[in-house]
Amino acid sequence: MTTDVTSIRLPLKDAIMLDHFVESGEFKSRSEFIRFAVKKAINEMILKEFHEKLGEDKKMTKKKLNKLQKEIKDIRKKLWEDYAEHLS
């Protein structure tokens, strides 16, 4: 994994709590904790952005669900043809 080093300044209280999770074995190191926290924040922000910009309030009806399944199926059929070539 290629990494980039970033120094961060934490309030003492947060640093102590972070160490608590490391000492209790939840995370191997401070770095591992921070990597997890950053990934979690990125994931949450992207999901929130999707819901705000593209989210539909309308109910997912049976008709819509069937239409979606058919759209996925069409893509899946085509995709399988491509993959099958490489698998054989």
Instruction: Give the residues lining the site for other proteins (CB under 8 A).
Output: 36, 39-40, 42-44, 46-47, 49-51, 54-57, 59-62, 65, 68-69, 71-73, 75-77, 79-80, 83-84, 86-87
Instruction: Mark residue 56 as left, alpha or beta (left: phi above 0; alpha: psi -120 to 50; beta: remaining).
Output: beta
Query: Please, what is the minimum distance in Å from the beta carbon of residue 27 to other proteins?
Result: 11
Cβ proximity to other proteins: between 20 and 78 the closer is: 78
Query: Please, what is the minimum distance in Å from the beta carbon of residue 29 to other proteins?
Result: 16
Distances in Å between the alpha carbon of 53 and those of 40, 46, 47, 48, 62?
20, 10, 10, 9, 24
